[in-house]
Amino acid sequence: MKKILLAASECVPFIKTGGLADVAGALPKYFDKEKTDIRVILPKYLCIDKKLAKKLKYVDNFYMDFYWRRLYVGILTCEYEGVTFYFIDNEEYFQGDRPYQGMPWDLGRFAFFCKAVLSALPSLDFRPDIIHCNDWQTGMIPVYLHERFAADEFYRGIKTIMTIHNLQFQGIWNKSETANVTGLSDLYFTDDKLGFYDDANLLKGGMVYADELTTVSENYARQIRTPFYGERLDGLLEARAGSLTGIVNGIDYSLYNPETDPFLAANFTKENFRKAKPRNKAALQKELGLKVDSKKLLIGIVSRLTDQKGICLIAYMMNELCSDNIQLVVLGTGDEQYENMFRYYADQYKGQVSANITYNEELAHRIYAGCDAFLMPSQFEPCGLSQMMAMRYGTLPIVRETGGLSDTVEAYNEYEGTGCGFSFTNFNAHEMLGIIRYAERVYFDHKRDWNKIVERAMDRDFSWESSAAEYEALYERMVGER
């Protein structure tokens, strides 16, 4: 049996800020337990859900040299939905009301976490064949394993995977303080290791020393090897192309299921969505103060409100959009200019635009279920989960062809009767508006064709089973059958 330890800085249901938490929480549940023993390790933040924190059980504690001091490391554990979770405890580093504090504080806390993960292994009665690292917060694990732990026979032969969820976030800080905090010698800060122009880069360190690299879609794995998407790491990624695999994320079908979802006004399936989905639409319109009108094309956006998500394109075209026979529902937070922009249009177009500048999981489910279309015009998108959730609920995605959006949304072809959504190629506001209006024409003038697209979208398999099978194959290539 293969033993895998998945290291992450956040994980559903304990702590979540983004898609990484969904991956870390969902993926381990879908492995064949007879072939793979996969467990998760993460920091024991003080802001972890209080009810879940009470379920944690003490395992062990020890003191570890770090940053010129001897620091306490506690280990706690719990089992949740058949998966074993471990938590690294140190109140000095993991205090606060949110998991990320920004640099330079995050440099110390996650370097500490990485060293503590390796130091804790002998106390776990679980020696992994592979440590599966996720994003820059765990980038020091492959580095430390190479730098000091591999000399110990216990650690010899442990392999590492570095998964890049979003290359934009790399853990960059100045070399001198990074060396001081991590305890690494100057030999590790050359350009072929952690050195990154005049700074140090923790994600780069993980990418250099990990045995395998993965990212969250096949297309994104190709794109990040080019200068436009490579965030100044394209040369390294090209050099490691033979060790780079793209595996599309999945969504948790037990959480995102229109047939059983408790947050909906009416549950539905592919067989009865024509009757039940309009009930969700009307309920959502009423809830958000929109005009209850089945003949409006209701478009949803659940997103961080940033340029990366293409909100700048939407901002450029808001007046044009609002002149059409559509309604727009927005849920999310982000850049202040975009938060205020949506508030302004919600005030200007009462009954047509709803701006919900917050995050509300239950409302997100109702938007996925109640809208007709879902807009994601991202500048880049490593994988994207919202387009999969929308299709699961029969809401057709309108996306830009980039990253995982290209891998998951097949554009509608009216001549062949194929496709499960709508897409445009260039990061251009007029091109986005053109494809939205094409979707409008299909919706208003060819409703039978629209419903066929909905059926194909709901037929798509975005469950974690297929993703887990690809990770299983990667683990087998690395360590072989056990």
The model's pLDDT over 56-103, given as tens digits with 9 standing for 90+, comes to 999 999 999 999 999 999 999 999 999 999 999 999 999 988 999 999
Q: Return the pLDDT at 376.
A: 98
pLDDT in tens, 118-130: 999 999 989 999 9
Cα–Cα distance for residue pair 82/254, rounded to 1 Å: 14
pLDDT in tens, 396-423: 999 999 999 999 999 999 999 999 999 9
Closest by CA to 212, choosing from 20, 28, 470, 15, is 470
Say if residue 309's pLDDT is above 60.
Answer: yes
Q: Return the pLDDT at 19.
A: 80
Query: Looking at the domain that runs over 2-250+465-479, which CATH code has it been given?
Result: 3.40.50.2000
Cα–Cα distance for residue pair 295/326, rounded to 1 Å: 9
What sections of 59-194 are H helices per DSSP?
Answer: 91-94, 105-120, 140-147, 175-182
Q: Return the pLDDT at 300.
A: 97
Closest by CA to 292, choosing from 327, 265, 339, 338, is 327
Q: Tell me what the mean pLDDT of segment 346-370 comes to.
A: 95
Q: Tell me what the mean pLDDT of segment 318-329 comes to.
A: 96
**Residue located via tokens 């020696």:** 127
Say if residue 22's pLDDT is above 90.
Answer: no
Cα–Cα distance for residue pair 457/392, rounded to 1 Å: 7
Say if residue 482's pLDDT is above 60.
Answer: no
pLDDT band at 378 (very low <50, low <70, confident <90, very high): very high
pLDDT in tens, 136-193: 999 999 999 999 998 899 999 999 999 999 999 999 999 999 999 999 999 999 999 9
Residue 450 or 97, more confident: 450
Cα–Cα distance for residue pair 310/421, rounded to 1 Å: 18
Q: Return the pLDDT at 125.
A: 86
Residues of the chain with CATH 3.40.50.2000: 2-250+465-479, 273-461
Average pLDDT taken over every residue of the chain: 95
Closest by CA to 43, choosing from 102, 2, 98, is 98
* pTM, to two decimals: 0.90
Cα–Cα distance for residue pair 397/374, rounded to 1 Å: 5
Q: Tell me what the mean pLDDT of segment 3-24 comes to.
A: 91
pLDDT band at 17 (very low <50, low <70, confident <90, very high): confident
pLDDT in tens, 243-275: 999 999 998 888 899 999 999 999 999 999 999
Structure-block tokens of residue 237? 């990624």
pLDDT band at 466 (very low <50, low <70, confident <90, very high): confident
Cα–Cα distance for residue pair 362/383, rounded to 1 Å: 22
CATH 3.40.50.920 fits 273-461, yes or no: no
Q: Return the pLDDT at 49.
A: 86
Structure-block tokens of residue 28? 């381990």
Say if residue 469's pLDDT is above 80.
Answer: yes
